[in-house]
Amino acid sequence: MKTSFIAAFLSCALLLTGCGSKQEEKEAEEKAAADSPADALQAIADKAKEMGDRKAVDPVDFRKLKDLLPETLAGMSRTEATGEKTGAMGFTVSTAEAKYKGSSDESLDVEIVDTGGIAGVSTMALAAWSIAEIDKETTTGYEKTTTIEGYKAFEKYNNESKSGEINVLVADRYVVNVEGNNLSVDQLKDALKAIDLSKLNDMK
């Protein structure tokens, strides 16, 4: 999970250094709105502008994020807990990750990322689902955007492999990712709810 995030982070940092002017962003938003007959797309454009205008702030100490990762989740014990502050080209993020293992073949990975140091376009790139509406079903599972404890969230689950993920965006800067194998979607939700999102929301 962390490897993919670091790759995404570096890509986003490059995106920020090469992004166009505010005028170009505005024109793109206006075009998106003009091309769509639906009010929903305008709402997405408005949200994208709001997030894009956010200024970068110093990310919190990753140790504070690690403190939110309990020793047990969904009946599984924590086997590893790591954290780091990563920077590239003047942009920084703080990340905490924990791995959990059950008595059988159940496993769970939880990651909390503070994108405050990159903000704007990069946050949208790492949580693109937060400004979209997704509702999709297949023969093996589903994926959809939803709301969990008042926060925009994304669920994806495969009924055959009993694997899935839940992602939540808190305070437009903290991304919480929960990924599990050989677990029910209810167990994934219970694991997420065991993390104090309100405390995360108030972190500065």
Whether the predicted pLDDT of 38 surpasses 90: no
Q: Distance between CA atoms of 112 and 65, rounded to whole angstroms?
A: 7
- Distance CA(110)–CA(80), nearest Å, equals 11
What pLDDT is attached to residue 148? 92
With bands split at pLDDT 50, 70 and 90, how would you rate the model's confidence at 201? very high
The residues, ordered by sequence, that sit 6+ positions from 116 with a Cβ below 8 Å of its Cβ are: 56, 57, 58, 59, 60, 93, 173
Predicted confidence at residue 115, as pLDDT, reads: 86
- Whether the per-residue pLDDT at 13 is higher than 50: the answer is no
- Is the pLDDT at 23 greater than 70? The verdict is no
Q: What is the mean pLDDT of residues 8-25?
A: 46
Query: What per-residue confidence (pLDDT) applies to 90?
Result: 64
**Predicted local confidence at residue 87, as pLDDT:** 75
Instruction: Give backbone dihedrals phi and psi of 52, rounded to 5 degrees, phi first.
Output: -65, -30
Enter the tokens of residue 158.
């495969």
- The secondary structure of the chain, three-state, reads CHHHHHHHHHHHHHHHHHCCCHHHHHHHHHHHHHHCCCHHHHHHHHHHHHHHCCCCCCCCCHHHHHCCCCCEECCEEEEEEEEEEEEECCEEEEEEEEEEECCCCCEEEEEEEECCCCCHHHHHHHCHHHHCCCEEECCCEEEEEEEECCEEEEEEEECCCCEEEEEEEECCCEEEEEEEECCCHHHHHHHHHCCCHHHHHHCC
Task: Quote the distance between the C-alpha of residue 133 and its chain's center.
Answer: 15
pLDDT at 173: 87
What share of the chain in percent tops pLDDT 90? 54
Q: Residue 89 — very low, low, confident or very high, per pLDDT cuts 50/70/90?
A: low
Predicted pLDDT at 100: 97
* Mean pLDDT calculated for residue range 14-39: 48
- Under 8 Å between Cβ of 119 and 173: yes
Residues 6+ apart with CB under 8 A from 47: 130, 131
Question: Could you tell me the pLDDT band of residue 24, with boundaries at 50, 70 and 90?
Answer: very low
The answer to whether 98 and 76 are in contact (CB under 8 A) is: no
Q: Take residue 132 and report the two structure tokens written for it.
A: 């979209």
> What is the pLDDT at residue 76?
94
